[in-house]
Amino acid sequence: MSSVVFNPMSSHQLRAEELQSDLIRKMTPGKRLSTAMALYQTAWEIKKSGLRAQHPDWTDEAVAARARRVFVTGYAGD
């Protein structure tokens, strides 16, 4: 029998989500786009840093290729 874990957000988390949603709604479309692009670039850099830490012997090209595969396919396995 499987069990379902219910983990409701705390009132602080809910309030933070509301504030974030309000800030995003108030942004211009251009600002939302530039923010999304900056977040994507940050995620890309974090992924490459993690890959470099896991595989210090990999070339920059190998790191970039694996990061690209992860972002395109969602598959991070070997």
CA distance 24 to 72: 26
For the chain, where are the alpha helices, taking DSSP H only? 11-26, 29-54, 60-73
Collapsing DSSP states into helix, strand and coil, what is residue 55?
Answer: coil
pTM of the model: 0.70
For 27-42, what is each residue's pLDDT tens digit? 999 999 999 999 999 9
CA distance 67 to 40: 12
For 44-74, what is each residue's pLDDT tens digit? 999 999 999 999 999 999 999 999 999 999 8
CA distance 50 to 29: 32
CA distance 49 to 3: 36
